[in-house]
Every structure is written in C-alpha cells, then in structure tokens.
Homo-oligomer: A and B are copies of this chain.
Amino acid sequence: MTASRVVELEGHIIDSGMMQTAFGILIDMGGSFEVEEFEVGRHKDEESYARLTVMADTEEQLQSIVHELHQNGANPVEPNDAELKPAPSDQVVPTGFYSTTNHPTDIRYEGAWIPVENVEMDCAVIVDTDDGRAYTKVLNAVEEGDMVVTGESGIRVSPPERARDQSGAFGFMQGGISSERPSLSTIQQIGEAIEQTKADGGKVLAVCGPALIHSGAREDLARLIREGYIDMLSAGNGFAVHDLERDLYGTSLGMDTESLDHPREGHKHHIYTISEIIRAGGIEQAVDDGVVESGVMYECVENDAPFVLAGSIRDDGPLPDTITDAIEAQNAIREQAHEADMVLMLSTLLHSVAVGNCLPSTTRVVCVDINPATVTQLVDRGSDQAVGMVTDIGTFVPILAEELLDESGL
C-alpha cells in the first residue's frame, strides 16, 4: 500500500452509521486503514471523533476510496479547494461533475468553507465566483459558463445523526415504518411533532392525494389549515377538483361522502366543477365571488396558505390554477420544499416523490399511506428524519385533527 491519506470523522459518527459505512467502503474497495485516534462521545448527545489513515495500492484507487468516504461524511484532514469547471453549454454538465447528496454540504473555495445553499439530491453545485456563494442547480437549470464543482476535493458532507432513543418530540422519527405499531399512539406522536415544529416557528407543508377526499378526510384537513397547523399545500389537479366538487355538488367523483349514495348524473359533477371554476376565472376568484364556500382549497385562499397544483397526464380539465408544465411545476414545488421544516406526505406517491426530491436530509418527513410499498419507497429516499405509517388516511386525518384541535384523545 503506497498511497495514503488521513481522514477525519466528526459528530455523531456512530449513531449516524457513518463509522460503519466508512469501514464498509474501505473493505469493499480493497483499502486498508489504521485508527489514529478514536474518541467516543460518552453520552447520547456528545459528539465523537475518529482519525484514520487510509491506505491503497495506487493513488487512483485511493482517490476513489476517499471520494466514497467523502460522500458519506469522512473528510480529508488537509483539504484543497474544490475544483471548478465551466458548463460547456446549457443543461450540460462538465465531465466529472460532483453530484450532490441531500445532506448539508460545504465547499472549500479560496481557502474557506462555504455552505452550499438549497441542498437537494442529484444536483450540480454552482459557485458564484463574484460573491463567493455556492448553491445547487438541477440539470435543466444549468447554464453555459456556470462554474460547476467537479472532482473529489474541497467538498464536505455532514449526514445528520439518527436519534437512537425516543425522547423528545422528534425522537420517534428514527423508527422507520410502523405497520405493527400502535396506531393511536403513533398519530399522537406525529401530532406532538407538528406542535413542536409550530412552537419552534417552523412551517408545515402537506402533500395530498385525492384519496384523502374520497376517504372523507376533507373537512378535518380544512380545519388544520384554518387553525394554522398546515402552512402550505402541494397537490395535483384531481385533489383540488374533488375538494371543490364536494363544495359545489356535495359529492366526490360522484359519490356523496356522507350518505355514501351515488346520485344519478353524479358522474358529471367532476367535469361541471372544472367548468364552473374555469368560468369563475380560477380558485381564488371562485372563493372571492362566493362560488366556493368550504373545503381545503377554500381555507388555503382564506388563510393565505400558498398552494401548488401540479398537472399530470391523468388530469381532467385542468383547472386554471394547475401548472401543466412539469418544469414550471417542479420549480414551484422546489420553492415550497425549501421553505418547509416538516412535510406531511398524505396518500400520494407521485407528488410525494416530487417534493421529496427537493428536500435536504434535515427536513422532517411523515409519510402516510395504506400501501406499505409506497411508504417504504418514500421513507427510503426521503430525508434521514423520516417516519412512515401504514394506515388509512380517512381515519388518520380525523384523529390527528382531534389530537391537535380538541385536546381530547379518543
């Protein structure tokens, strides 16, 4: 082993799994190491420190190992500046560009560490050499001449620790997916995490699928917006149409959600609803004109809770408020995602993935769906502070609302 470099791991390196991952990379990639120093935090909230000398047979192999260690939070002791190359043309990255994780990241530029703004997964890092800022750009936003971080050096990634115990309002958020956990207690914990987020001045974004309306949870979601527990809404055209149909015709996809009857001609309500909102000029106008008088979209308008309705190829209509261009919709979603401190993903895979793509690993995420595969997919790709619950959205939202609003348990 002729090539070697010293790397450091700092922070909750055991709790975060960083240590284990680093060992694994070294063994997998044929490297070797010696433990130079190993200080273990004595208590749960104390940080640890390890310094390792990493060895490999060739400089190339060493670089490759050190790159992987980087990605997972181990940083060279004596770092160089990050290497910058200009983008050769719009939407084209230079060879060897650095593709981001969703963890907090710093870039070494002119000898100093600067934080990368708006971190999200699979982006390029652009350095604005005029004012010394660094930020992410998705591929389609890259412009010719952008200075793009490439190569291995001058990049520091800090994966957040996973809480190992269950104390604190967010402690349960290490728990992965609860299909065999007590439902009411889990909902109570989610309620407490929302209350804590609000108490800390944070913002809660709800990402909602149409099943929420069909399952009868519309009124309780509307209450949560009205009472300020939910600050922003991300959904699709169908969600809004079903919500508005309930206000205008008392049905959702033609079914009366209280009596469970299917009134004759109810199948037309869906199209009529879109038609009426188009006639009014949009959702806000429809609320202002008194056409729409209740529901989720109504409360968003009345309470200045911003909403993004993203279009899809499944849509009827669409409503005038729906953003039909996927790139424009992603940009609107991205803006909301970056403002959110906590995200509730409520029975929608498509919109949850779109929002999740824009989240840093430090945002708290709660995924609720009746399909365990959906919850698994979202929690696995989501932030490191994600919790999933396999339950019925039609009982989850009412119980959560009762928990938050009525102070009386079931």
Which residues from chain A sit less than 8 Å from chain B, CB to CB? Answer: 14-15, 17, 19-20, 23-24, 27-30, 32-33, 35, 38, 40-44, 64, 67-68, 88-89, 91-93, 97, 99, 122, 138-140, 164-166, 172, 175, 179-187, 189, 211, 214-217, 253, 255, 257-261, 264-265, 267-268, 270-272, 274-275, 278-279, 310-318, 324-327, 329-330, 333, 350-351, 353-354, 357, 370-373, 390-396, 398-399, 402, 410
Contacts and interface: CB of A to CB of B under 8 A. Distances in A.
7 contacts: A15-B24, A17-B20, A89-B279, A97-B271, A183-B392, A324-B325, A370-B370
A216 B179 CA distance: 11
A354 B313 CA distance: 6
Per assembly, the copies of the chain total: 4
Given A122-B316, A138-B316, 12 more contacts: A91-B275, A99-B268, A99-B271, A122-B267, A122-B270, A139-B274, A184-B395, A185-B258, A185-B259, A311-B327, A312-B354, A392-B395
A182 B310 CA distance: 25
A312 to B, nearest CB: 6
Contacts of A29: 264
B166 A260 contact: yes
Nearest to A31: B42
A20 B27 contact: no
Given A182-B215, A185-B260, A395 B399 contact: yes
A189 B260 contact: yes
A353 B236 CA distance: 15
